[in-house]
Structures are given as C-alpha cells and as structure tokens.
Structure 1
Amino acid sequence: MKIQRIEAIPYAIPYAHPLKFASGEVLVAEHILVRIHTDDGLVGEADAPPRPYTYGETQDSIKSIVEKVFAPAMIGLDAMDRGKVHAILNRTINNQVAKGAVDIALWDLMGKSLGAPVHKLLGGYADHMRVSHMLGFRPAQELLDEALRFGEEYGITTFKLKVGRRPLALDIEACHVLRAGLGEDVELYLDANRGWSANEALEVLRRTEGLGLTMLEEPCDAKEAMGRRRLVEKSPIPIVGDESVPTAGDVSRELLSGGSNAICIKTARSGFTEAQQILGLCTGLGVDVTMGNQIDTQVGSMATVTFGAAHEATTRKAGELSNFLDMSDDLMAEPIAILNGTISVRDVPGVGAAIDEDKLAHYRSN
C-alpha cells in the first residue's frame, strides 16, 4: 500500500452562527481537506482547520507545507510505515494542524486497508462520547437561551462558556445567569483563550465561587509563567492547558512547571499518534484530560469522537463536539447525529467521515 499522491484541497463553508471568543472569531470555515491516495486505490482523508490567531497556520500555509514539503518526501512510502512518515513530518517545526491532518489520514487509510474502524484500532473502549457545547461571546440571556435550546433539542448537559472579556462583569454575569437558568445538574466550565491576566482570572474565580464551575481553560498566557503558576496554586478548580500545549513536549513542560494541572487534547493539531503520546503522559501522571474542539466541521468532529471514544480516560468528560451545528453546511456524506447528548462512533472501516463529492466540488476554493 504505497503512497501515490497527496492532495490538500482548500474549501470554504460559511458559519450560520459565527463563534466569537477572546483570541478571535470564525465567520467562515476556510479549511483544507487532506487526501492521501495509495497505489491500490484507497484514499485516507482528514480535515485541517487553520487557526492563524492561535497557531499561525493559514489555509495557504497548510496547502503549501503538505503539497510542497511533506508530499514529495512521503510519496513511495508504505502508508503503514507511520514512523517513517513522522520522521519526515518532524523535520519541519510547528505546522501542527498540517501534521495532524496527515496523521489522521494515514490512520484512516490503515483502517480501510484492514477493514476495521479506527476507534477499534486505537483502543475501542466505548462506542460513543458525551457532547459539550461551546457558548461564544453574547449577552447573558442569549447564552442561556442557546443552552436551553441545545439541552432541549440534543440532550446536551455540559456547556463550555467562552470568557476573557473586559469588563470582567460581562463574563461573571453570564456565569450567574447560566447557573440560575440551567440548574445544578448541568456542568459549566470556562475558556478564556488567554484573554485575562492571572490576577483577573483569580478575581473571576472569587466572584463566581459557589456556582459549581468545573474547569478554567487558558485563563492567561502560559508564557507569563509566574502568574500562571500562582493561579494554578490558588485556583479551587483545574486550570486546563489548551493552546499552550499543542505537542507532547509542551504538555510535559506545562505540567512539570506547574503551569497547568489538566490538559485539553485536540486531534486537529496532534493527529491520533501524538494524541496518544499526550494521553499517555497525562494518565501516567494522574492528570485529567478533555477532548477539545478547533471549531471543527463534522469531518473533524468525527475524528475527535473516534479518538475520544477509544480510551477510558477521554470518555470521563464530555467532548467539545457540537460546533458544526453553527455551520451553514458540511462535507460529510452521512451527517452526524447528536442523540441524548451523545455522538456515536461509526462502525465502518476507517474514521467514518466519508465525503460528499458534490458538496466538496461546490465549496472547494480551487
């Protein structure tokens, strides 16, 4: 099963309900579909979501690095030889989303060649994941209305509130309104996307004490090491590393330095192979993990479900899997369904994210 050709196909799908947060906003899903073709006719696929304000990658940079740097060195290799492929990928620094998509496409190929679902190859612990939904910057009552609607329509009982605004009162009010309107049985946690200082984060925690918030993700820039460590030491809830920990090495640094005491895993930036390495670090150290969302399409969300459902530790918390609902359309041939607050894995060879070719032709950029 030799790698014969690699494509990086740009496409754009507008969001019906754009998501706004401290480090930016997303109006259009300008992504890359990575396709790896083999000499026996199989095709492995994965979605690459550029997030320039977080990782510095763009649609153009992902297309260029995949087709001009990775592909020439990978063509002719056996698609099963992922170690050789990763040696090639690792020669280039950064570009985590591009590397992640290549890795997931290889796992998709492996599953298809073996006639096995990738979630089984990864571990097969469960056949579904609970869903957490992200709530963006909006007035408090609108956030509550959205959460109530998602609870009613999809059975979702976990919500991640995007915070990091100034004045702090906007986010503090949203926390109080959501807790009062949703009741005690709904899980709420926060993600500031580095929007505050450590002292501001401590003030928010003080003024939301008693609301039962379960986690605070990236409250301030992890590069502000002393403030971040002080926050971890004083916080009554876990401080989750996300954009500060895209690689296994970054995870080691943050955990050992005391900059985080929980970790968000995103397959869009780590693929499945490095995600396993990160998960191994965390489980070995007894550190909680969450499965995050890179404002993924259904293709990306299916990859997250595939990995998250495969391992016991990643099923303990609801995964951020539902923001594709804010898109005006998607590329999946068989759309994802959220039933009773969960998404099931696909019991088919590969990752289970088959593409609708007509939709791809319609939305592709060139």
Structure 2
Amino acid sequence: MKIERIEAIPYSIPYARALKFASGEVTSAAHVLVRIYTDTGICGIADTPPRPYTYGETQDSIVSVVTKVFAPQLIGLDPLDRSKVQQLLRRTVNNPTAKGALDIALWDAIGISLGTPVHKLLGGFTDSMRVSHMLGFKPAAELLEEALRFRETYGINTFKLKTGRRPLSLDVEACNVLREGLGEDTEIYLDANRGWTANEAMEVLRRTEGLGLSMLEEPCDAGEAMGRRRLVQSSSIPIVGDESVPTLGDVSRELLSGGSNAICIKTARSGFTEAKQILGLCEGLGVDVTMGNQIDTQVGSLATVTFGAAFEASSRRAGELSNYLDMTDDLLTEPLEINGGAILVRDVPGVGARIDADKLQKYRQDQA
C-alpha cells in the first residue's frame, strides 16, 4: 500500500454562538479537512483547526504546507512507515496541526487496511471517554445555567471554566457560583489561556481556596518562567501546560523546568504518534494528563476519543469533547452522541469518521 494523493480542503461551518476566552474568540469552524488516498482505494481522514493566535497557523497556511511541502515528500511512501513519515514532517519546523492531521489520517488509513479500529491498534484500554464541557466568558448566572443544562441533558458532570479575565473578581465570582449551584460532586477546573500574570493566578487560587477546584491550566505565559515556577511550587492543585507544550520537547522542558506539573494532550496538534510519546513521558514521570480540545468539530472530537480511550492514563480524567454541540452543523454522516456523560469509540476499522459529501460540498471554501 502506497500513498497516492493528499487533499487539504478548507471549509467553514458557523457556530450557533461564539466561544470567548482570554486568547481569542471563535465564531466559526474555519477548518481544513485532510484526506490521504492510497493506491488500494483506501482514504484516511482527519480534521485540522487553524489557531493563528496559538500556533500561528491559518487555513491558507495549512492548505499550502500540506499540499506544497508535505504531500510531495509523502506520496509514494507506505503509510505503515510511520517513523519515516515523522522524520520527514520534522524537517519542516512548526505547523503542528497540519502535521497532526496528516498523522491521524495515516493511522486511519492503516486501521482501515487492517480491518481494525485505531483505538485498538493504539492500546484498546476502554470503549468510551467521559466528557468535560468548556464554559466560555459569560456572566456567572449564565454559566451556571449552561452547566446545569448540559448535566441534565447529557449527563456531563465535569466542567472547564475559561478564565483569565480582568478584574479577577469576575472569575472568582464564577467559581463560587458554579460550586454553589453544581454541588461538591461536580468537577470544576480552570483554564486562563495565558490571560493572567503568575501573581494574578496565585491571587485567584488564594481567593478560591476551599472550592475544590481540580486543576488550573495555562495560567500565564510560560515565558514568565520564574513566576510560573513559583506558582507551581505554591499551588495545591496541578498547573497544567497546554499552549506551552505542543511538542514532546516542549513537554520535557516545562516538566523539567518546573513550569507545569500536569500536561494537556491535544491530538489536533500532535497526531496520535507524538501524543503517544507525550503520554509515555508523562506516565514515566508520574504526571497527570488531560485530553484537550481545539474547539474541535465532531471529526476532531472523534479523534480525541479514539486516542483517549486507548490508554488507561489518558482515560482517567474526562476529555474536552462537547464543544461541537455549539456548531450549527457538522460533516459526519453519523453524528457523535453523548450518553450518560460519555462518548463511545467507533468499533469500525480506522477512526470511524465518515464524511457527508453533500455537506462538505456545501461548506468547502475552495470552489466558486
């Protein structure tokens, strides 16, 4: 089996409402669908979310690097030669989500060719992941209303609160209102998206002590090295690296320097191959991981479920899997379902993402 052709299709699907957070705002899923075709007729699929304010990638840059740089290097290779593929991708710096999509699409093609679900090829630990729902910038009462609605409708009982606002009292109030309204048995954790300084983050932790918050993700810029280390040393809850740790080398740096003591894994930026290496490093060091979300479509969320459910360590915590519910439409022929607060893996060869051709045609942006 050889790689014969690679497509990168830009498309855009509006969100029903914008998700706002400290590093930006998303109003539509302006993503890129990557498809790898083999000479056996198999097609591997993955989705790519451009995040210019996080990784410097845009829709145009992803299409360009996939079709003009990576495709000429990968065409003719056997998809099973994963190490060779990784070596070729590493020769081009940055572009993490473009590389991640190519890797996931290759794993999908491999799974289809072997007639085996990718979650079993990776590890096959369990058949589902619990779901965490992200709450964006809103007044505290509206955040509580949304959380209660998602708990009642989908059985979700873990919530990630987007923070990093000023004044700090907005986020502190939201923490108090959510804890009081949701009760002690609901997990709540924070993500500041580098919106505070390290000192501000320490103040928020001081003012929310006793609320039972489980984690604080990316409280400040990792470049604020001394303050970040001081925060990690003083915090009673894990400080999670996310934007600061897109690669295996970045994870090593942050953990060894003391800038984080937990890691967020996102398959959208690492694919399955590097995500597995990151997970192994964290397991060896005794560091907790979370499965994060790039405000993914259902295609991207399915990839996260596939990887997260494959390993015991990545399935311990609820994964961020529900924000596709804010989209007005999606590309999957069989939509994901959240039942009892969890999403099942697809027990079919590959990852299981089957694309609705009519919907792709409707939303693609590369045709007049």
Counterpart CA distance in 2 for 1:303 and 1:248 is: 19
CA positional deviation for 1:47:
0.1
Shifted more, 8-17 versus 81-90: the winner is 81-90
Which residue of the partner structure matches residue 122 of structure 1?
Answer: 122
- Give the Å deviation of 1:354: 0.8
What SS does the aligned partner of 1:47 have? Answer: strand
The corresponding residue for 1:217 is: 217
Task: Name the residue aligned to 2:347.
Answer: 347
Partner of 1:190: 190
Q: More displaced, 242-251 or 80-89?
A: 80-89
Deviation for aligned residue 1:78:
1.1
Give the aligned partner of residue 65 of structure 1: 65
Check if 1:136 corresponds to 2:126: no
Per-residue CA distance 1:168-215 (angstroms, 9 max, x = gap) = 000000000000000001000000000000000000001101100000
**Whole-Å Cα distance in 1 between the matches of residues 292 and 54 of structure 2?**
14
Residue identity in the other structure for 1:145:
E
Report the CA distance between 1:32 and its aligned residue.
0.3
Q: Residue type matched to 1:25 in 2?
A: E
Find the counterpart in structure 2 of residue 202 from structure 1. Answer: 202
1:10 matched to 2:6: no
Deviations 1:115-140 (A, max 9, x none): 00000000000000000000000000
- The alpha carbon displacement at 1:89 in A equals 0.4
Residue 25 (structure 1) aligned with residue 25 (structure 2) = yes
- In structure 2, how many angstroms separate the alpha carbons of the residues matched to 1:77 and 1:306? 25
Q: Say which SS state the counterpart of residue 4 (structure 2) adopts.
A: strand
The residue correspondences of 1:176-187 to structure 2 (distance < 5 A) are 176-187=176-187
The match for 2:330 is 330
Alignment partners' CA distance in 2, 1:217 and 1:256: 17
Tell me the percent identity. 78
Task: Give the letter aligned to residue 42 of structure 1.
Answer: I
Distance 1:79 1:301 in 2: 23
Q: State TM-score, norm by structure 2.
A: 0.99
Matched residue pairs, number?
A: 366
- For the aligned residue pairs, the C-alpha RMSD in angstroms reads 0.4
Q: Give the aligned residue type for 1:189.
A: Y
TM (norm. structure 1) is 1.00
Matches of 1:310 and 1:78, distance apart in 2: 24
> Which residues of structure 1 form unaligned runs of 5+?
none
5+ residue gaps, structure 2, are none
Deviation at 1:83, TM superposition (A): 1.3
Equivalent-residue separation in structure 2 for 1:353 and 1:147 (angstroms): 28
2:173 aligned residue: 173
Q: Corresponding residue for 1:281?
A: 281
Partner of 1:34: 34
Runs (4+) of structure 1 moved beyond 2 Å?
Answer: none
Q: CA deviation at 1:102?
A: 0.1
Shift in Å, 1:80: 1.2
Give the structure 2 partner of residue 256 of structure 1: 256
